Amino acid sequence: MTRNEKLASFYREHLPGGIIEGTMLKGPCPFCKDKEGDKAGTLVVYLGARSYFAGYFRCQNRCVPGGFALHFARLSGLDPATVPGYDPDRQPYAQSLKFPSGNINQEINKYQDKLTPNIEAYFARIGVGTDTLKEMKIGYNGRYIVYPYFMQNGKCYTAHCIMPEDETEHFWHGDQSFATNGLQIFNLNDIDHCEDGALFVVEGEQNLLCLRELGFPGIAVTNAADLRSIDIRRFEHINTVIMVMNHSPESVEAARAFAEQVGFKVRLLQWPSQLKRGFNLAQLAEENLENFKAEVTRMVNGSRAFSPFRSPGHEYDLLMDKIERQLSESYQSLSTGMTRYDGAVGGIYGINIIGGAPKAGKSCFGIQLGTEIARKKMPVLYYDFENGAQKIYQRTLSRLSRLPVDKIVSSVLTDEEKSRLEIAQEELQTMMQFFRVVNDRQITPAIMRRHIDFLRHETRRDDIIVVIDSLHKLPFKDFSEKRTGINAWLREFESMRDELQVGFLIVSELNRQESGRYDGVPHMGLFKDSSDIEYTADNAMIFLPEWEPIDIKEETERVNALWLVASRENSPGLISRYRLDFPYWGFSEIEE
């Protein structure tokens, strides 16, 4: 049996004479007989299988507060174990609160007797009748409407007094300590009555009265800002919390902050954006009283759960956007232009980590890949902790002009060399709008995110490349061990990759082997100080020289082999061999 079928069976058993009418069970109220002089009314139980209020009952005579099955069992003196879904191990919410000996119950009764026809007419314009006012014990002190705030013990210690037609004029009457510290909850006891069911949470007592007139259970806070002081454990046993705040950014923000704590059970009702600021349920009722219940029902059915997940429709749209983005010119521009490299890993997408021995040319290789993408007017952030911006720009100028750096800085050039240099300088100047070098050794993930946002905005490009040279030179001030700091940075890079569509090229150091050398068979264990690289990297590569970096002669041919040792989507193996274009600070792929 479904839960709804179990609930229907429970109520039929304990409501003799009940008759099913559509999605409702109706029968003589078993509680009215306890009220002297009251004629037995009809108890209505809502049983719509898809309704948030399935299992909610209320007496049309309002002899007892409505609620869900556990509340029905308590009122009937039934064993709670007979209630469908009852959890015998559940701990009820207990508040450590000492109630004072005095209360204002008698004053509240006097204020009720002072309700005038004018005040009743004031509420009638928003559809709230005298029965609801009586049920909620609303009163009038001759100038202010009095909303009593009863506690769980049935006593009232404070009341909110609001001027009719001017809600900005108000004050608290009674014990002021019950108007703060999370106790400022109007109709508080409905939380207990709605255990294992649904409950409205609204802003403003008057708005709650509109819902109570329709038969819905709920509580109210005087202002959305009061939500932050309410103990969310009160709602632990509520299945669905339906929030209706007034139409303002402040109220929505407060509701979202509350929902983040309560969790997925919260549903936020959305107001149409064109409505005026501060619009609320009472105004909706006043403007469209005839259709008010239908409008509230529509809003509830269209409400969105406060979910840690995107909606399926939005998730699908994002997937389609990403597929379309991969076909865009911008995305295709993230390829390096090196045929074998792009064929092996596709370009610089995701997190790409290149490990290399000291002085093996890994920084030179990283600069070349980064600047080649920037030449295609794609934004590149180059975080340099090795060479300094001046060297990076000079080496790039050398590669573009095919002039040695010492020749460029000597200014002793032939006319043909000057022409090449001028063309390269113009190209570098254009490229530098897209290529930014950062030498800040106090960089943090938050600052890096701001850099990314700025350059994307400045270049009007969605895709961006971040080069880190090198991983082991990043600041780790919050960590006592470098390994811990590196792994923390890798987690941040994963987050940026997924949230900001960032491609990373990260230069890493290698472990020295027992022989004291860095060569040998490439494998993941060669990466230094991080066990997380194998889990983080979309592509992990090792850049090994086939020459001796320590004892190098100018005429020596310098060839490096780039190995893919781990990849999420590509087959490991030799990517290509690269010849250093000495002395122009670049590499060229060797066609084999």
Give residue 539's pLDDT.
95
Least reliable range by pLDDT among 56-70, 187-201, 323-337, 369-383:
323-337
Q: Is residue 314 part of a domain?
A: no
| Cα gap 208→189, rounded to integer Å | 14
CATH code at position 179: 3.40.1360.10
Do 432 and 480 lie in a common domain?
Answer: yes
Q: How many domains does the structure of the chain reveal?
A: 3
51 pLDDT band, cuts 50/70/90, is confident
For 60-86, what is the mean pLDDT?
94
462 pLDDT band, cuts 50/70/90, is confident
Q: Is residue 91 part of a domain?
A: no
Do 151 and 284 lie in a common domain?
Answer: yes
Collect contacts of 583-588 with beta carbons under 8 A, ≥24 apart.
583/398, 583/404, 583/405, 584/398, 584/399, 584/402, 584/403, 584/404, 585/364, 585/367, 585/368, 585/395, 585/396, 585/398, 585/399, 585/405, 586/364, 586/368, 586/399, 587/361, 587/364, 587/365, 587/368, 587/560
CATH code at position 333: 3.40.50.300
Tens digit of each residue's pLDDT (9 = 90 or more) over 201-241: 999 999 999 999 999 999 999 999 999 999 999 999 999 99
Do 569 and 452 lie in a common domain?
Answer: yes
Do 272 and 417 lie in a common domain?
Answer: no
Do 77 and 109 lie in a common domain?
Answer: no
List Cα–Cα distances, 75 to 53, 315, 421, 450, 503, in angstroms.
19, 46, 92, 59, 63
Q: Is residue 316 part of a domain?
A: no
For 337-346, what is the mean pLDDT?
92
Tens digit of each residue's pLDDT (9 = 90 or more) over 101-156: 999 999 999 999 999 999 999 999 999 999 999 999 999 999 999 999 999 999 99
Last residue of a domain, one of 270, 305, 340: 305
Do 467 and 578 lie in a common domain?
Answer: yes
Domain hosting 132: range is 105-305
CB-count exposure of residue 25 (10 Å: 0-12, 13-18, 19+) = buried
Q: Is residue 97 part of a domain?
A: no
Do 194 and 284 lie in a common domain?
Answer: yes
Do 268 and 193 lie in a common domain?
Answer: yes
Nearest to 241 by CA among 267, 269, 270: 267
Last residue of a domain, one of 33, 48, 82: 82
For 193-204, what is the mean pLDDT?
96
Give residue 386's pLDDT.
85
Do 432 and 499 lie in a common domain?
Answer: yes
| Cα gap 122→166, rounded to integer Å | 12
For 338-346, what is the mean pLDDT?
92
Give residue 91's pLDDT.
85
Give residue 556's pLDDT.
67
Q: Is residue 551 part of a domain?
A: yes
Tens digit of each residue's pLDDT (9 = 90 or more) over 155-169: 999 999 999 988 899
Pairing of strands 266-268, 240-244: parallel
Residue 73: how many other CB atoms lie within 10 Å: 19
Do 407 and 481 lie in a common domain?
Answer: yes
Q: Is residue 496 part of a domain?
A: yes
Tens digit of each residue's pLDDT (9 = 90 or more) over 251-292: 999 999 999 899 889 999 989 888 999 999 999 999 999 999
For 79-86, what is the mean pLDDT?
93
List Cα–Cα distances, 410 to 403, 405, 413, in angstroms.
11, 9, 8
| Cα gap 227→449, rounded to integer Å | 32
User: For the chain, how big is the Rg over CA atoms in Å?
Assistant: 36
Nearest to 337 by CA among 362, 388, 373: 373
Q: Is residue 171 part of a domain?
A: yes
Tens digit of each residue's pLDDT (9 = 90 or more) over 512-548: 776 666 666 788 888 887 668 888 999 999 999 888 7
Query: Position of tokens 């399935």?
Result: 54
| Cα gap 561→549, rounded to integer Å | 14
Give residue 478's pLDDT.
60
The percent of residues in the chain predicted with pLDDT above 90, rounded, is: 69
Last residue of a domain, one of 82, 116, 133: 82
Q: In what order do the strands lie in the sheet with 156-163?
A: 139-140, 145-150, 156-163, 166-174
Q: Is residue 95 part of a domain?
A: no
Give residue 36's pLDDT.
54
Do 130 and 241 lie in a common domain?
Answer: yes
- The two most distant CA atoms of the chain are separated, in Å, by 115
What's the whole-number average pLDDT of the chain?
Answer: 90
Do 454 and 519 lie in a common domain?
Answer: yes
- List, in order, residues 6 or more apart from 166 with CB less than 8 Å away: none
CATH code at position 62: 3.90.580.10
Give residue 285's pLDDT.
96
Tens digit of each residue's pLDDT (9 = 90 or more) over 390-420: 999 999 999 999 999 999 988 789 999 999 9
Which DSSP string corresponds to 203-247?
Answer: ESHHHHHHHHHHT--EEEESSGGGGGGS-GGGGTT-SEEEEE--B
Kindly provide the b/e burial profile for residues 100-128, where b requires at least 16 CB atoms within 10 angstroms of the residue's own CB: eeebbeebbeebbeebeeebeebbeebbb
| Cα gap 3→478, rounded to integer Å | 51
Is the pLDDT reported for residue 323 higher than 90?
no
For 173-197, what is the mean pLDDT?
94
